[in-house]
Each structure stands twice: as C-alpha cells, then as structure tokens.
C-alpha cells in the first residue's frame, strides 16, 4: 500500500498540458500548431502546450499556455485524456494532460501576440507529418472526441461565430464528419432539438442563394435526441 506511506519518498514527474485547438478554415478542419524551438522535433510543428504551474489548475494551465504560445482565447475547452507511457518524453518522466479546444474561424491576428511561431494546419496534413512525443496519437484522439461530441452536444456552435445560419452549422458537421448531409433534413432536425439554436430574427445573404435566417446557440449542454453520424 504505497500511498499510505505519504508522498515524500515517492517518484515525482513533470506534468504538462497539450492542446488540440480545432477550427474550420477554407472548408477544412484545421489545427493550431507551434514551431518547436528545441529537440525533439526541433524546427518542426507540434501541439501547443507546456508545464503546469504549482498554483494552477489543469484547465487554467491549458488556457495560459495557449495564450502565451498562440495568442488564442478559445470558446470551448475540454479535457480529453492523459498520456503517461514511460518513454514518451525522452528527456524526463513527463505526463501530459490533453485538452481539446474549439473556436470560430477568426481573422488571423484578431488575437495573438506571439503568432509568429503559431499557425493553422489542416488536420489531414498534420497527421501525415512526423510529430514529437505522442502528439500524433493526441491529435487522433482529440479529433475523434470532437466527432463524437458533435452527436450529442452543441459543440458545433463553438466552430461558428455568435450568429450563424443553419447552413454554417451543417458545414461544420459535414467537414468534421467528412460526410454530406441532406440540407432539408438537417435543418428540420436541428430546429427540432430543444434549446440547440435560437432564432435571432435577422437574415443574412452570403453570396449566391436565398438569404438565410441567423441563429445563436441555445442553452442546452446535451442534444436529445442526438444527431446521428
């Protein structure tokens, strides 16, 4: 019963947070990357992240690192999983708590001081590149989490700006799920889920086609019935 002996004689480790920030840009699912200044993976892309401070909660650490490394303030942040394989960081015993963040496609530099080393990359492209630590697995896990959360939470609205059309929302689902959805059935479904979207009363014209009503996100945290993939 190891724990009963108290901590001082126990092994200690470094604890880091890493963040997969997703958005939709140019009709693609993209992820925020930073350029690594040191080995491993020096000069290459990696997920933003860093060590948790002693006086700081995990989620606060994720937000702080994101702000420091990319200048981003995200709309949605959720813990995904913790990685702790003994050799995952060749330098020292390090655990990494992974967060998934979602944000709307804001104009570059809308926020961001240290944006020089930070850039958006399409998820498929980043998955084809060699990434340090277990960032590849993290990206796969976070994207899969996002995909399944679209089914039963209103997370899709976090990919959109404050006011959005049903078409905007549908494109989120189509791009994240990689699958075409029937516009008519999708619109009916979304509006039948109590509290998912709230009509603003405005309409917007986005290029060609009939102008669309706009909506803001409602107040539910779970969709029932869910939208099936």
Partner from a copy of itself, DNA, none contacting 219, C-beta within 5 to 8 A by type: none
Query: Which among 192, 157, 152, 153 is positioned nearest to 171, based on CA atoms?
Result: 157
Encoded tokens for 9: 């004689």
Report the residue number, 44 or 84, with the smaller CB distance to a copy of itself.
Answer: 84
Q: Any contact of residue 166 with DNA (CB under 7 A)?
A: yes
Q: How far is the CB of 168 from DNA (least distance, A)?
A: 7
Does position 179 bind DNA by CB under 7 A? no
* Residues paired with residue 204 on neighbouring β-strands, in sequence order: 212
Task: Please answer whether residues 156 and 150 qualify as being in contact, where contact means their C-beta atoms are separated by less than 8 angstroms.
Answer: yes
Peptide bond into 40 cis (omega under 30): yes
Residue indicated by tokens 């960032």 = 135
Does position 209 interact with DNA (CB under 7 A)? The reply is: yes
Residues that bind a copy of itself (CB under 8 A): 1-4, 6-8, 10-16, 34, 36-38, 49-58, 65, 68-69, 79, 81-82, 84-86, 89, 91-95, 97, 114, 117
Give the residue among 67, 160, 59 at the shortest CA–CA distance from 113: 67
Which of DNA, a copy of itself, none has residue 185 at its interface (CB below 5 to 8 Å by kind)? DNA
């Amino acid at each position: 019963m190891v724990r009963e002996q108290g901590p001082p004689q126990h092994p200690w480790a470094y604890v880091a947070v890493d963040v997969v920030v997703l958005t939709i840009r140019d009709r693609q699912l993209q992820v925020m990357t930073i350029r690594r200044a040191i080995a491993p993976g020096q000069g290459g892309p990696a997920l933003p992240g860093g060590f948790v401070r002693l006086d700081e909660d995990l989620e606060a650490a994720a937000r702080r690192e994101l702000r420091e490394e990319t200048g981003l303030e995200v709309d949605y942040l959720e813990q995904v999983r913790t990685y702790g394989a003994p050799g995952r960081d060749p330098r020292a015993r390090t655990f990494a708590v992974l967060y998934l963040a979602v944000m709307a496609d804001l104009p570059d530099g809308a926020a961001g001081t240290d944006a020089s080393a930070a850039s958006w990359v399409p998820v498929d492209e980043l998955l084809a590149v060699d990434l340090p630590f277990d960032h590849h697995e993290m990206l796969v896990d976070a994207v899969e989490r996002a995909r399944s959360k679209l089914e039963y939470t209103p997370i899709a609205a976090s990919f959109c700006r404050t006011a959005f059309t049903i078409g905007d929302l549908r494109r989120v689902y189509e791009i994240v799920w990689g699958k075409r959805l029937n516009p008519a059935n999708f619109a009916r479904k979304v509006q039948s889920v109590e509290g998912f979207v709230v009509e603003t009363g405005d309409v917007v014209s986005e290029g060609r086609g009939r102008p669309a009503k706009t909506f803001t996100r409602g107040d539910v945290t779970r969709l029932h019935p869910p939208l099936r993939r």
